[in-house]
Each structure stands twice: as structure tokens, then as C-alpha cells.
Amino acid sequence: MTFRDDPNATGAVDRGLAAGDNGTKDVVATLGYVQKFSGSTILIKLGGAALQDAALVDSICEDLIRIRSVGVSVVLVHGGGPAINEELARRGIQWSFIEGQRVTTPEMMDVIEMTLCGLVNRRIVRALNAAGVKAVGFSGTDAATLLCKRGDERLGLVGQIEKVNTSLIDAVLSLQNDMGVPAIPVIAPLGLGKDGLAYNINADWAASRIASALGVTKMLFLTDQDGIFGEDRKLVPELDAAELEGLIETGVVTGGMLAKARTIVHALKHKVTDVHILNARRPHGLIEELFTDRGVGTVCRLRSRAHAPMEGLER
């Protein structure tokens, strides 16, 4: 993310370049981030709204390739809500949501599986492969990656993840293209039940559980919003888990962001240290967030560093 992640590194750069120009500082800062994140794995959840814009998908894929080229492994989990809505509407099927999650009937499940796996997932995989990075698309039902049970009865065929099998994800990450750049797994949020049925899984929950299972410490949500907004409707640049739970309990966070906020709290309590929420439409927002000292959107941590009683910590 940014040097708010590593205040000691920030201080070193600032002291060493006190007399230098901002351009030089930016270059050195970027090199510091590349060195810091090289060899690590990040998980990115791409929201369905962004996937409706082919040019935006291409732009995001280009940024993913840049990230991957400097030695950062990427796992991509995607949504597909708007595409699902379009297909349901075309078939005359009505739908509803409860607390940000889609009520799913057996009839709808067929449409959801077809749309997520046959349309949305394929679109992302084609864009990445066309740009020269191996990408392998699959859903959580493949290799029993996401084993689940039926969740809230009100939601129908919506699964609650019980176990994440990472073997297929690990296998994809081990693949390389001709330039030695490892592949990107592209995962559609469907799960497999013990009854052999496919279940619709909220993509945010899928991302959170996969990140925890892989031991990923940094997760980024690319959404159609600039981040999380407080009671005053202003963007909150940094939150800890307790503060985020407070926004949930007081009803400040609602709709689709409600389910996302709950998954973020879960992730922070299960090994993930940094969760970032940023607008997918911000040009090169991923690059800016990962490789510059200008944080964008909202960053969530188990305990906010802004509140930590340690000298020198920055947002």
C-alpha cells in the first residue's frame, strides 16, 4: 500500500532526500514499495459494477500486469452483480436483496452460475491473457475450492463458506509465462455444498475467506465508491475494526457496503492486516495505492495506526 504501512521506511526516505526534489522522492519511494512487496501475495476483489465497462476492465488488467511484473503475486476474486441483473431482467426474473445479499432461487442460480463463469470470468481472463500474463479462471466449485453450507434460510441458495481448499489457487500461482511471470488465478464466487449443489456466495465474503486461507496480509476492494463514509458523509481515510463495527451497529454503513464491511472485520480478525477500499474508476488507483506514499480511499486495520501510541506512525 503506502508508506503509512512502514513509517520507518518513510522516515528514511524523507531524511535522505530532504534537499531533493519531489520527483526524486517519488521515484525512490516507489522503489521502496517495489522492494517491500516483491515476493508477496495480495488479493484483489473486483466489484461487478466495474466489470460492466470493457475499457475499465482493460485498464485494470494493465495495472495488474504491472503489479505482477515487479514480483507481486495477485489473486483476483470478482463479482458480477450488474451482469447478473441484466440477464435476470432479460429473462423476466425478479430479484431482491436482504442486508446487501441477493436472495437466490434455484432458477436464479442457473443464471448466476452461467453469468459469473461463462461471461464475467471469461472476460477478465481473456483481457489478462491477451496482455501477456497467464490467467486461469475458475469458480469456487472447481476442485472444491469453496466448500459451503446453506446460510440464512431467507436467502435461499446463498452459501456460507465452511472451508477453503487452496490447492488449485496455489497450482495456478506456480504457473509462469514465457517471461517467467507467474499466473493470476481469477475466481468466480460460487461454492460447492455437501449436497452437490452450487451456491451463490457473496464475492466480498469469498475474497475475505480466500485471503485468510492463503495467509494474505493485504487485500484491496475495487468498488464503485471512493471508500467508506462516516456519519457526516465524508470519506474516512482510516478505520480500525472497532470503529468499523461501530459504523455497522449505528446503521451508518448500509446496502452493499454493509456486507463488505462485515467481511472486512472478519478478514482483520483472521490474519489480514490491511484492507483497502478504493474506487475502481480512479485512474491507476491500484498503482497509486501500492507504490506511492499517497493513500487513496479507506484503509482498515485491526487497530488503527493513527491511534497507536507509537512515535512516528503516520496514516
pLDDT of residue 269: 93
Q: Does domain 40-301 have CATH number 3.40.50.1100?
A: no
Domain ranges of the chain: 40-301
Chain centre distance of CA 99: 20
pLDDT tens for the chain, 315 residues long, are 443 455 444 444 444 444 456 666 666 666 666 666 677 899 999 987 888 888 888 888 888 888 888 888 999 999 999 999 999 999 999 999 988 789 999 999 999 999 999 999 999 999 888 888 889 999 999 999 999 999 899 999 999 999 999 999 999 999 887 777 789 999 999 999 999 999 999 999 999 999 999 999 999 999 999 999 999 989 999 999 999 999 999 989 987 788 899 999 999 999 999 999 999 999 888 888 887 777 789 999 988 655 444 333 333
pLDDT of residue 287: 87
pLDDT of residue 36: 66
pLDDT of residue 43: 97
**What burial class does residue 276 get, using C-beta atoms within 10 Å of its C-beta: 0-12 exposed, 13-18 middle, 19+ buried?**
buried
Looking from the CA of 187 toward its CB, the CA atoms found within 13 Å total 37
H, E, C per residue of the chain: CCCCCCHHHHHHHHHHCCCCCHHHHHHHHHHHHHHHHCCCEEEEEECCCHHHCHHHHHHHHHHHHHHHHCCCEEEEEECCHHHHHHHHHHCCCCCCEECCEECECHHHHHHHHHHHHHHHHHHHHHHHHHCCCCEEEEECCHHHCEEEEECCHHHECEEEEEEECCHHHHHHHCCECCCCCECEEEEECEEEECCCCEEECCHHHHHHHHHHHHCCCEEEEEECCCCCECCCCCECCEEEHHHHHHHHHCCCCCCHHHHHHHHHHHHHCCCCCEEEEEECCCCCHHHHHHHCCCCCCEEEECCCCCCCCCCCCCC
